[in-house]
Amino acid sequence: MEVGTAKLPRLAVLGAGHVGPVMARLALRAGYQVSIATSSDPADLALITELLIPGAEPRRASDAIADADMVVLAIPLHRFSGLDHSMFSGKLVIDAMNYWPSSDGILEDFEGSAGSSEIVARKLASSTVVKALNHIGYHELEENARSAGSPGRRATAVASDSPSGLSDVTEFVDRIGYDVIPLPSLVAGRVLQPGGPVFGLVLARPEFERTVRTEPLPAAAVTVAASSLAGRGVSEEVGYGNW
Amino acid sequence: MATGDIPERFPLSFGLNTFGDRNGDADGKPVSHAQTIRNVVEEGVLAEQAGIDFFGIGEHHTDYFPMPAGDVVLAAIAARTERIHLGSSVTVLSSDDPVRVFQRYSTLNAISSGRAEVILGRGSSIESFPLFGYDLGDYEELFEEKATLFAELLKGGPVTWQGNTRSALYQQDVVPHTESGPFPTWIGVGGNPHSVIRAARLGFRLALAIIGGDPARFAAFSELYRRALEKFGQPQLPVAMHSPGHIAATDEQAMEEFWPRWRDLIALVAPERGFAIPTDDSFAWEAGPHGALFVGSPETVAQKIAKNLRALQATRFDLKYGMPGLTHKALMTNIELYGQQVIPRVRELLAEPASSS
């Protein structure tokens, strides 16, 4: 983190809901230059950034993306189709989204057997799409991050059809705090989706690799590090009264 | 104000929340929905006797939470109590009509002589959407519009309003009028900063629902809320936290009663909600000093509540008690211990200066 941070890719995070601020903070801590954008009132975003993501730059989405090397999609999937997809042209895009019919409603495009990131990649045909960080609960992303070499460090997988994209995002995810298991295609990344064998589970590398290869999950493979209770499915005003 | 001390402008208060978790009998068999609802009335009455400040009922529409009309149950409790505040926890406003919600709770406010409160939520258990014919795709617009209308209704006086999610109102007098201004209204928030800002913009109190992970991570949300209130020219308002838990005579007994029911419940809702199924270890972590489950003896739970109220600069704590399958008797014990031992102990702990930790 000390050496060579000047050469790190510039990051744009789209979304300042549950996930975006956490991603942005992790990236800032690892030395990345980070901008953040939302569809909401710029004054609200400025306040959120000042208090929750100090050090990040609040920007309009098109500007943030234009100046970034790497873009993180941390918005609800049903908002994705409303974006101007040409903004992402030529960019490396990290898809951290999941398809939750229970909070997205039914999205016809995502109803087939293909993985949600495959559909995203089809819509962003002139970008490099990498599926990453979708299967760790947002409240755990910071709590479980550890520096490389820490014993029992939590593992996560990234998936892409692009070898260079895979390698760039592997480096990013390792820097922000996780052991990375690269999967060589977005089709292979289907295993990371909600309901899949690793979704929400806290696993170190050996157990993670074993689990991805052999379903169903042996109960003993689940490690201790932290709670896996509230995953990404918890939508916004969660309630309470209404979990 | 020393760092870590609780803001003095609001009195500390302590509540209980239930979802009408369907009780089990002594043999573990589920009792009827009707008996569960009658038991909730008894629990609300006991809550007042035990010295608890607030009793809230969360709207649900399932076999294990058969509690779609909490306001009716609250009215029964109101008729048998004198002091305790009564409210929703939460009302799923997105799939309800704000005018009807206002009418039901201002009626409760009348029955209880000014003891009604409402906690509005967008709904993360979404079973009410298909039930009442709402489209999940409209989730955000539904809540935004309806919360805005609810803020107008609370002001009293004729309402003029127009939107996409219900018919327009023109100079509409909505009855019954309240006797002494708006009743306290909160928005329940699960961790989205935009929701925190919306609560501030509309002038609602903030209730942080924390059901997993370290509650202290929500501290920045309290600050965001305070700053947003300033920005919108609203007066400062209290912050509450809500978390699940269970209190028994000893830590061991509380864990033993709560854990199997918690595991079964989360396993049941996990596929739809994206929860991982809890393990012995993950449960131990959540029930431990840094987690979000308030399960244990009165002293264990009191220490944890005091620590987190300080961390969050919150002045109200709501314990979501009960779990499907627990007996009514275990819940009554929980309520007595919470009111008679936990709350006085938390008050005592918070009266001491904050330690440097």
Q: Which residue has the higher pLDDT, B255 or A197?
A: B255
Average pLDDT over residues B135-144: 82
What are the C-alpha distances in Å from B333 to residues B14, B18, B50, B253, B337? Answer: 17, 15, 11, 12, 6
Using DSSP bridges, classify how beta strands B169-172 and B294-296 pair: parallel, antiparallel or unpaired.
Answer: unpaired
Confidence of residue A177 (pLDDT cuts 50, 70, 90): very high
pLDDT cut 70: percent of chain B above it? 96
List, as ranges, residues 46-85 from A with C-beta within 8 Å of B.
47-48, 51-52, 78
Give B7-41 pLDDT, tens digit per residue: 667 999 999 999 999 999 999 999 999 999 999 99
- What is the pLDDT confidence band of residue A235, given thresholds at 50, 70 and 90? very low
pLDDT single digits (tens) B182-200: 999 999 998 899 999 999 9
Q: Is A189 helix (H, G, I), strand (E, B) or coil?
A: helix
Percent of chain B with pLDDT over 90: 83
Return the closest-CA partner of residue B18 out of B356, B7, B52: B52
For residue B14, what is the enclosing H or E element? strand B13-18
What is the interface size between A and B, counted as CB pairs within 8 Å?
217
Residue B93 has what DSSP assignment? G
pLDDT of residue B270: 81
Q: How far away is chain B from the Cα of A48, in angstroms, using its nearest Cα?
A: 7
Q: Do A239 and B90 touch (CB under 8 A)?
A: yes
Q: Would you call B193 and A21 a contact, using CB atoms and an 8 Å cutoff? A: yes
Helices marked H in chain A — which ranges? Answer: 20-29, 42-52, 61-66, 77-80, 101-104, 116-123, 138-143, 163-176, 205-213
Residue ranges of A 120-149 with Cβ closer than 8 A to chain B? 137-140, 142-143
Q: Do A243 and B279 touch (CB under 8 A)?
A: no
A105-113: average pLDDT: 92
Bigger pLDDT: B135 vs B188? B188
Task: Please tell me which residue of chain B has the smallest CA distance to A53.
Answer: B220
For the ranges B16-20, B49-53, B265-269, B284-288, the lowest mean pLDDT is seen at B265-269
| DSSP letters spanning A86-105 | GGGTT-EEEE-----HHHH-
Q: What is the pLDDT of residue A220?
A: 36
Whether residue A222 lies within 8 A of chain B, CB to CB, comes out as: yes
**Residue B319 sits at the chain A interface (C-beta within 8 Å):** no
Kindly give the pairing relationship between strand B185-189 and strand B116-121.
Answer: parallel
Q: Give me the mean pLDDT over the A2-17 stretch.
A: 81
Beta pairing class for B185-189 and B169-172: unpaired
Q: Which of residues 107-166 of B touch A (CB under 8 A)?
A: 119, 121-126, 135-140, 143
Nearest-by-Cβ selection for B275 from A103, A233, A242: A233
pLDDT at A99: 93
Structure tokens at A58: 């609040």
Q: What is the pLDDT of residues A74-86, one digit of tens each?
A: 999 999 999 999 9
pLDDT tens digits for range B77-133: 999 999 999 999 999 999 999 999 999 999 999 999 999 999 999 866 678 888 998
Residue A61: per-residue pLDDT: 96
**Residues of B in Cβ contact (< 8 Å) with A223:** 281
Is B64's Cβ below 8 Å from some Cβ in A?
no
Contacts of B59 in chain A (CB under 8 A): 241-242
With 50 as the cut, is the pLDDT of residue B201 above it? yes
> What's the confidence (pLDDT) of residue B357?
45
pLDDT band of residue A1 (cuts 50, 70, 90) is very low
Residues from chain B contacting residue A47 (CB–CB below 8 Å): 197, 224, 227-228, 231
Q: Is A36 within 8 Å of A59 (Cβ atoms)? A: yes
Q: Which of residues 90-119 of A touch B (CB under 8 A)?
A: 98, 100-106
Rounded CA-CA distance A34/B123 in Å is 32
Q: Would you call A66 helix, strand, or coil by DSSP?
A: helix
